[in-house]
């Protein structure tokens, strides 16, 4: 596919309206419109934007017990999740089409046909025609995320060839899984998309490392969220120990040599922009190419099981 460059990308740093699918979608549509008006061709949203990364919530669980509040909270979480495709992806797709951009968004997905009540932390890819072209389900939820999210499998680890380079995504701490990263590199990812819920300083080092290791552009998107984005009853019952700021942001954009194009943005909602020139990837591969001249396939063997485990 012929590549159009240079081009602009956008990284959205914003908070979803927790458990409020309708208003979270409406917020996303407005942010896509704004990024499109600024000529962004790839627009990345944070992990679990539709419609919530439930930071601070326990879902009523201790080892060996669950309570009624937790079951009710999980039901609300399920109600605010989406199917792919579905009405919500149709709305996002319409906004993507009007913006003329690829939209890549973290969502909480339900798949009643195959998995009953299980929820998945998923990234959905929507093209400029407004169509869903694929998705990636998080392979391994982290810590207590495993209370509310199931595991994806190797059937949803795509890299898409687009007029703006080859795009692929891993979610949050999947990016600490060397073999998951290698699966992206092996497929030739050029625009590596890393939606996350991690805004710590160590995360920024990880994004720089991945860009340098993969000789790719890395876009990382985190939410900026506050307590007033949660339902009042959850704030009163669950979030008393937390500051008003629940997630501090830290979204960033990194070049193929591991240098920040846009440094981490902390403490506010924002949209980050950068102009991308894919020729910088070839320049960076001059002295290191993880799947090319710096690989040793005679020594190391790599295999990915891409079968659907249903």
Provide the annotated active-site residues. Answer: 47, 138, 172
Yes or no: say if 280 and 258 are a contact pair by the CB < 8 Å rule. Answer: no
Q: Which residues contact residue 92 at a Cβ distance below 8 angstroms, ignoring those fewer than 6 apart?
A: 25, 28, 29, 32, 103, 105, 124, 126
Cβ burial of 142 (10 Å; 0-12, 13-18, 19+) is: middle
> Which run of H or E residues covers position 24?
helix 21-37
Alpha-carbon distance 121 to 123, whole Å? 7
Which two tokens mark 159?
Answer: 């890299």
Cβ burial of 77 (10 Å; 0-12, 13-18, 19+) is: buried
- Strands 102-110, 119-126: pairing is antiparallel
Neighbouring-strand partners of residue 40: 8
Omega prior to 298 cis, within 30 of 0: no
Cβ burial of 299 (10 Å; 0-12, 13-18, 19+) is: exposed
């Amino acid at each position: 596919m012929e590549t159009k460059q240079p081009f602009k990308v956008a990284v959205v740093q914003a908070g979803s309206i927790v458990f409020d699918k309708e208003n979270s979608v409406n917020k996303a549509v407005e942010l896509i419109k704004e990024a499109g008006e600024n000529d962004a061709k790839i627009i990345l949203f944070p992990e679990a934007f539709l419609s919530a990364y439930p930071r601070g919530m326990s879902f009523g669980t201790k080892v060996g017990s669950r309570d009624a509040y937790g079951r009710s909270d999980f039901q609300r979480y399920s109600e605010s999740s989406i199917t792919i495709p579905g009405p919500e992806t149709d709305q996002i797709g319409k906004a993507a089409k009007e913006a003329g951009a690829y939209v890549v968004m973290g969502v909480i997905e339900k798949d009643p046909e195959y998995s009953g009540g299980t929820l998945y932390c998923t990234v959905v890819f929507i093209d400029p025609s407004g169509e869903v072209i694929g998705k990636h389900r998080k392979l391994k939820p982290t810590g207590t995320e495993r209370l509310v999210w199931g595991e994806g499998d190797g059937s949803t680890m795509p890299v898409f060839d687009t007029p703006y380079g080859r795009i692929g995504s891993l979610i949050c701490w999947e990016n600490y899984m060397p073999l998951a990263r290698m699966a992206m590199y092996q497929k030739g990812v050029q625009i590596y998309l890393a939606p996350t819920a991690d805004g710590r300083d160590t995360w920024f080092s990880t994004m720089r490392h991945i860009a340098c290791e993969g000789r790719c552009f890395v876009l990382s998107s985190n939410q900026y969220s506050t307590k007033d984005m949660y339902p009042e009853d959850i704030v009163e019952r669950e979030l008393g120990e937390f500051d008003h700021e629940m997630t501090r942001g830290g979204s960033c954009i990194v070049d193929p040599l591991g240098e920040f194009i846009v440094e981490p943005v902390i403490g506010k909602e924002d949209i980050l922009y950068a102009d991308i020139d894919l020729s910088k990837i070839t320049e960076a591969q001059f002295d290191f190419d993880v799947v090319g001249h710096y690989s040793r396939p005679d020594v190391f063997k790599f295999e990915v099981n891409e079968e659907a485990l249903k």
